[in-house]
Amino acid sequence: MLIRYGYDITLACAEPTAMVSLLEVHEDRKADLRAPENLYFTPDIASTTYHDIYGNRCRRFVAPAGELRLWGDATIEDDETLDPEVWDAPEIPVQNLPDDCLVYLLGSRYCETDRLSQFAWDRFGNLAPGWSRVQAICDFVHDHIRFDYMQARATRSAFEALNEGVGVCRDFAHLAVALCRCLNIPARYVNGHLGDIGVPVADPMDFSAWIEVYLGGRWYTFDPRNNMPRIGRIVISRGRDAADIPLINSFGPHVLNSFRVWTYEVSEA
């Protein structure tokens, strides 16, 4: 199966402003691209790339005064399989976790483990450890938070999402990540593309957020927002939470003038 994905974003700055974008496909999916993925700027400006401490590909540039358009488009090959469900995948004791998993047990900007620990243990501590406990967390988050684009707030944390009961996909992800970490289960935040392949079209196309949880010696995808296996996830970046992997990090004020995202299946022809 082939999936076409991309974005068209226009920003406006009053003066030249340094920026870093995380908009391009993650390194572990680059081999699936049918052609090199490119990011185009209008007006044309110079940019460089580097990899951050989480392995994400980041692009540095200076947006000029006035409008800057960022446009990217690519086609990727996908195996057309649903997210795996491995119900016998066990939790790994902290002392046996790989070193690079430990950072995903700690509190972070949007995932306040210190404020959520008691709630997590009271609600999920008596459940059988493993896949079923992580799924119970996702079930709770899915049922507890009401999805509402109009209630989106860039500063909402996991603790606030629990108390307010409303949010968008990043809030679902932050709360599920935080609750897993409270129970000593490594969990990380993921940004990417997720189209409506195999499901009814319900929402406008957008970037999506979901989570990955370390069970049985590997990372598995969970999605508390949709709470069902899906086809065609395209990972852009992974981090502790949204603060680590903003789509665009601006080192100065800017205005978002337009924003369009697409993700859909295309034929071989």
The residue segments making up the domain with residue 21 are 2-79+247-266
Question: What band does 175 get if pLDDT is binned at 50, 70 and 90?
Answer: very high
Claim to verify: residue 49 and residue 177 sit in the same structural domain: no
Query: Which DSSP state fits 96?
Result: G
Q: How far apart are alpha carbons 223 and 229 in whole angstroms?
A: 8
pLDDT, average across residues 15-20: 98
Distance CA 118, CA 222 (A): 23
Q: Are residues 151 and 207 in the same domain?
A: yes
pLDDT tens sequence across 214-264: 999 999 999 999 999 999 999 999 999 999 999 999 999 999 999 999 999
Average of per-residue pLDDT values in the chain: 95
Taking CA atoms, 102 is separated from 59, 175, 181, 217, in Å, by: 27, 18, 10, 13
pLDDT at 203: 65
Contact 131, 86 (CB under 8 A): yes
Q: Percent of the chain beyond pLDDT 70? A: 98
**Does residue 181 belong to any structural domain of this protein?**
yes
Quick one: 30 and 112 in the same domain? Answer: no
Name the band, by pLDDT with cuts 50, 70 and 90, for residue 22. Answer: very high
Number of separate domains in the chain: 2
Q: Say which CATH number the domain at 107 has.
A: 3.10.620.30
What tens digit of pLDDT does each residue of 76-123 get? 999 999 999 999 999 999 999 999 999 999 999 999 999 999 999 999
**Does residue 143 belong to any structural domain of this protein?**
yes
pLDDT, position 48? 97
Residue 145 has pLDDT above 80, yes or no: yes
- Is 225 found in the same domain as 126? yes
Amino acid identity at 97: L
Examine residue 84 and state whether it is found in any structural domain, yes or no.
no
Q: Nearest to residue 18, comparing CAs of 67, 50, 71, 59?
A: 59
Does residue 87 sit within a domain? no
Q: Are residues 229 and 99 in the same domain?
A: yes
Q: What is the CATH number of the domain that holds 261?
A: 2.60.40.2250
pLDDT at 204 over 70: no
> Is the domain of 39 the same as that of 117?
no
